[in-house]
Amino acid sequence: MANLSTKIKLYCEANGVSSVDFLKDVLLQNDGSGDYIKEWNVSGLAKPSDSQISSYETAGNTKESNNTVRSTRKNLYGDIGDQLDEIYSDIDAWKARIKKIKDDNPKE
């Protein structure tokens, strides 16, 4: 299940708001039964209904999954300086290593 914050970001982006500050624009709270929007201060954009937020579940899951893949890949790629040395020494070995990392960690 996608995080509420992810679905809110997608809702805002789909409606022309490029960034959301979760300390000023949108305040979330958890009452023990789940997160909900406590306060909505996004200028020029109405607070979304529950059904509007729910419509971003699939896209939110994909975004979160791809963010996990990106993080995993970044860690496996290693330091950029080491990569440049590897490219200089043997570009074909570097290409094979990077391809394996991408194949082992596909995006949706």
Identify which of 86, 30, 45, 31 has the alpha carbon closest to the alpha carbon of residue 8: 45
Confidence class of residue 63 from pLDDT cuts 50, 70 and 90? very high
Give whole-number Cα distances, 89 to 75, 94, 102, in Å.
21, 9, 21
Residue 58 confidence (pLDDT) above 90:
yes
Residue 70 confidence (pLDDT) above 90:
yes
Cβ atoms 53, 4 nearer than 8 A: yes
Q: What proportion of the chain, given as a percentage, has pLDDT over 70?
A: 100
pLDDT at 108: 87
Confidence class of residue 51 from pLDDT cuts 50, 70 and 90? very high
Cβ atoms 4, 30 nearer than 8 A: no
Q: For residues 54 and 48, what is the distance between their CA atoms, to the nearest angstrom? A: 10
Q: For residues 79 and 58, what is the distance between their CA atoms, to the nearest angstrom? A: 33
Identity of the residue numbered 74: K
pLDDT tens digits along 33-47: 999 999 999 999 999
Mean pLDDT of 7-11: 98
